[in-house]
Amino acid sequence: MSAEAKQSGKNFAGFRAARLVAVQVLYQGTFTDFDKEALDDFINNKMYKVEMEDLQAPDDTLLREIVGGVLSRIEDIEGLLLPRLEGKKSPELLLKSILLCGTYELLARQETDAPIIINDYMMVTEAFFEGQEKKLVNAILDSVAKAVRQ
């Protein structure tokens, strides 16, 4: 059993929702002045829109950890991501937000099984895209996982 499962009991849906909302928060943050106060306001006032069927409320702790972690470790994360994007079309901001969040978790949340993280970000990708983006997210996050979890 993964540490996430032990820690959460049966809150897998809350973690999946936190991942979806973290992507939305980061994406929204690219269009506004984004600081800790804006992040807190965005989360506290539920200024995000959750559109996945049967989605529970996001786990607030994980949501804050992901967004704060991406913001504080952006150079490390981009150092892992950018080489994997070479030769590919530059991802649009929403797809990049998904990859940033997933890469942060693979890097920083070693106690959570990589397949859980990758699968959840593939499901998040499906919530926003209908094309080949899911395969791209899978390939890149799998490559990141192999690099940081040897």
Give the per-residue pLDDT at 112: 93
Closest CA to 81 of 19, 146, 143: 143
Give pairs for 24-27: CB < 8 Å, separation 24+: 24/48, 24/49, 24/97, 25/63, 25/67, 26/67, 26/70, 26/97, 26/100, 26/101, 27/93, 27/94, 27/97
Q: Which residues of the chain have pLDDT under 70?
A: 1-10, 31-39, 42-43, 45-55
Give the per-residue pLDDT at 135: 95
Alpha-carbon torsion (93, 97, 98, 100), positive or negative: positive
Give the per-residue pLDDT at 1: 42
Gap between the Cα atoms of 39 and 144, Å rounded: 26
Alpha-carbon torsion (135, 93, 121, 87), positive or negative: positive
Rg of the chain in Å (alpha carbons): 14
pLDDT tens for each residue of 71-85: 899 999 999 999 999
Give the per-residue pLDDT at 8: 46
Which residues are within 8 A (CB) of 115 and not within 5 positions of it... i.e. 6 or more apart? Answer: none
Structural domains in the chain, sorted by start = 3-148 (1.10.940.10)
86 SS3 class: coil
